[in-house]
A and B are shown apart, each in its own frame.
Chain A
Amino acid sequence: QKEVEQNSGPLSVPEGAIASLNCTYSDRGSQSFFWYRQYSGKSPELIMFIYSNGDKEDGRFTAQLNKASQYVSLLIRDSQPSDSATYLCAVNDNDMRFGAGTRLTVKP
């Protein structure tokens, strides 16, 4: 059984701080990794994907991947109240698997 694990939170950070979200996965052969954001009552929407070891930056978001440790993370810099949502980590094989999500609250 392929597992994707996330700390369910809730994670609370003040506005302007860095939020750090973590994800581990069990299948060493997994190739690509995705971070989705989901607002309450809405569908998930893609923030970033990563498939090479190291960091990938897109605006205020940085994804980090360490395949040896089977670990992927998402950093959100200068967090804003509008970033308050549930963040879902997904691991791609043919059957995209999701973690349970981490609920982030950014307090003004």
Chain B
Amino acid sequence: NAGVTQTPKFQVLKTGQSMTLQCAQDMNHNSMYWYRQDPGMGLRLIYYSASEGTTDKGEVPNGYNVSRLNKREFSLRLESAAPSQTSVYFCASRMGLRIDEQFFGPGTRLTVL
């Protein structure tokens, strides 16, 4: 039982390049989330998927797209990376009930030059 996994762990991009961050969970959770974390800013929600087949914008969706590929996988795509997207990205999942916790992946540290 691996929990929530993310790939890659580290990535350096040049401005304008694109990439996809991968996230998978093996806990049969319904809901999945993408956050970014910048120093002093806490976790800010980018997109989430309350259930398979649905996605919704969070606080900071601009410049990102997501795909809920199946129940296990939720990917985050940067179409044209900008230096402002330099951050640590966390994927999380939860069953989706009112009182259940989120489980987080180990994070992806992304630098855009």
Contacts and interface: CB of A to CB of B under 8 A. Distances in A.
Whether chain B is bound by chain A comes out as yes
Interface of A: 1, 6, 8, 31-32, 34, 43-46, 49, 51, 88, 90, 92, 94-101
> Top 8 closest A-B pairs, CB basis?
A100-B42, A43-B104, A98-B43, A46-B101, A101-B42, A98-B42, A94-B50, A32-B99
Interface in B30-86: 31, 33, 35, 40-45, 48, 50, 56, 58-59
Contacts of B105: 43
Contacts of B102: 34, 44, 46, 90, 96
A97 B45 CA distance: 7
A100 B38 CA distance: 10
A85 B58 CA distance: 26
Contacts of A43: 90, 104-107
The range of chain B's interface size is 20 to 34
B99 A95 contact: no
Given A96-B33, A97-B59, A88 B43 contact: yes
Contacts of B33: 95-96
Contacts of A45: 104
Contacts of A95: 33, 45, 48, 56, 58
B41 A100 contact: yes
Among A31, A88, A98, which residue has the most Cβ atoms of chain B within 10 A?
A98
B98 A31 contact: yes
10 contacts: A32-B98, A51-B98, A90-B102, A92-B98, A95-B33, A95-B58, A96-B48, A96-B102, A98-B35, A100-B40
Contacts of A96: 33, 45, 48, 92, 94, 102
Nearest to B96: A94
Among A31, A51, A90, A100, which residue has the most Cβ atoms of chain B within 10 A?
A100
